[in-house]
Amino acid sequence: MAHWIRLVDDNQRTRAAMRRLLERHGLRVREAAPGAAAGDADEADVVIVEEEQAASAAGEPQAREPAPNDHEWMQSLMADDEAYERMLPELLQRYEGQYVALYRGELIGVAKTAKQAALRGIEALGRPEALFVARVGEPRPEPLELGMWIGAPRQVVIEE
Amino acid sequence: MSWVPYRQGVTPVPHPSTYVRVTGVGGLVSARVRAVLDTGATVTVIPTAILRSVGAYQLTGRTARCRGYDGATALLPLFEVDLAVDDPRWPDDLRVRFERLLVLGVTAPSQPDGDSAGASSRASGSAPEVLIGLDVLAAWRLHLDGPQSRYSVE
């Protein structure tokens, strides 16, 4: 399946540079012409497509909802942890030993590896996202004790 | 031995930095971002905005306990990503790829629940930056030449 690169603006220089770079690495590149039917099967490794076309392209599911801001997302991640605990009895019956991906309390990916489960979750969402993934039945690990000063100043800002 | 100049002009003190490529699951999306070589960080720290944009994931309950100067502790999520140095100033053979690297995800301080670990993005006043911690730095020999504001890596 070809990978799709979305260009928000029709920037010809960016498009040309991207194509050269990809082809230099041996990838077969196809540009989706404006107005062309998206979703046609082709043998390209990468398809460069404009934003309005990408939404209907084959292999690129549409985003089901807009991405939340970082604050909402972090709350959602913590809620997924709790949702996993609630769903565990049912998950154990159906998916013990497999990996599941959750997003906003909903099961959106199941697979034999964590990566595959996350990938299926992203495909279901239709956009990249950092997801909660769990191996069903695996004991919860203890937090790592890093001894790291997360509040330590890494850089100094001088305000006049 | 080739030298890489410190990053200057952004903060009062020049500092060693490079660029890394962060890649999420399946290699579908990656991002090239500036990274500070931070020997004070036990593990690598990546702003959650970057983790989200490339599609990282957190495995069940993988967290790390960190401390603040005020004594408060915080549990921060650990995510898996692939990370590689993507800096033409570095020797080719040292651009190691770290697969399934566990990194701390920290929300930028501009967010409502912001914390202080994203100080690098606040200080630079622009794009968020990665903090390359000792878990990754252990792969190389670094020579910091403070008087000349440069470093070498081998």
**What are the extents of the domains in chain A?**
3-54, 70-135
Q: List Cβ neighbours of B12 (8 Å cut-off, separation of 6 or more).
A: A156, A158
Q: Is the pTM of this model over 0.80?
A: no
Q: Could you give the percent of chain B with pLDDT greater than 70?
A: 87
CA-to-CA dists, residue B143 to B1, B5, B39, B40, B147, angstroms: 10, 12, 12, 16, 12
Closest CA to A47 of A14, A95, A78, A2: A2
Looking at the predicted structure, is the pLDDT value of residue A151 above 90? no
Q: What is the pLDDT of residue A59?
A: 45
Total Cβ atoms within 10 A of residue A103: 24
Closest residue in A to B23 (Cα–Cα) = A128
Looking at the predicted structure, is the pLDDT value of residue A10 above 70? no
Mean confidence (pLDDT) of chain A? 78
Instruction: For this complex, say whether ipTM is above 0.90.
Output: no
Q: What is the pLDDT of residue A148?
A: 74
| pLDDT per residue as tens digits for the range A53-108 | 444 444 444 566 778 888 888 888 989 999 999 999 999 999 999 999 999 999 99
CB contact (8 A) between residue A146 and residue B43? yes
CB contact (8 A) between residue B107 and residue A150? no
Closest CA to A116 of B137, B127, B25: B25
pLDDT band at residue B70, thresholds of 50, 70 and 90? confident
Show contacts of B89-93: CB within 8 Å, 24+ apart: B89/B2, B89/B4, B89/B18, B90/B4, B90/B18, B90/B153, B91/B2, B91/B153, B91/B154
Q: What is the pLDDT of residue A96?
A: 95
CB-nearest partner of B65 from A121, A129, A144: A144
Check: CB of residue A77 under 8 Å from CB of residue A130.
yes
User: How far is residue A13's CA from residue A26's CA, in Å, rounded to a whole number?
Assistant: 20
User: How far is residue A44's CA from residue A1's CA, in Å, rounded to a whole number?
Assistant: 8
C-alpha of B75 from chain center: 18
CB-nearest partner of A143 from B63, B112, B120: B63
Looking at the predicted structure, is the pLDDT value of residue A124 above 70? yes
Task: Show residues of chain B in contact with A152, CB under 8 Å.
Answer: 40, 69
pLDDT mean over A121-133 = 91
Mean confidence (pLDDT) of chain B? 84
User: How far is residue B137's CA from residue A81's CA, in Å, rounded to a whole number?
Assistant: 31
Among A9-18, A78-87, B14-23, which is the least confidently predicted range?
A9-18
Total Cβ atoms within 10 A of residue A116: 18
| pLDDT per residue as tens digits for the range B101-132 | 999 998 866 543 333 334 344 444 556 789 99
Amino acid identity of residue A98, one-letter, is Q
CB contact (8 A) between residue A130 and residue B105? yes
Looking at the predicted structure, is the pLDDT value of residue A11 above 70? no
Closest residue in A to B51 (Cα–Cα) = A130
User: How far is residue A153's CA from residue A37's CA, in Å, rounded to a whole number?
Assistant: 53
Task: Say if strands A144-149 and B63-67 run parallel, antiparallel, or are unpaired.
Answer: parallel
Check: CB of residue A155 under 8 Å from CB of residue B124.
yes
pLDDT mean over B42-56 = 92
Q: What is the pLDDT of residue A34?
A: 55
Check: CB of residue B63 under 8 Å from CB of residue B75.
yes
Max mean pLDDT among A24-28, A32-36, A54-58 falls in: A24-28
Looking at the predicted structure, is the pLDDT value of residue B52 above 60? yes
Closest CA to A78 of B60, B13, B35: B60
User: How far is residue B82's CA from residue B27's CA, in Å, rounded to a whole number?
Assistant: 8
Closest residue in A to B38 (Cα–Cα) = A154
Among A80-84, B94-98, B122-126, B149-153, which is the least confidently predicted range?
B122-126
Check: CB of residue B117 under 8 Å from CB of residue B45.
yes
CB contact (8 A) between residue B120 and residue A81? no
Amino acid identity of residue A30, one-letter, is R
- Which structural domains are found in chain B, ordered by start? 3-7+17-153 (2.40.70.10)
Å between B102 CA and nearest CA of chain A: 11
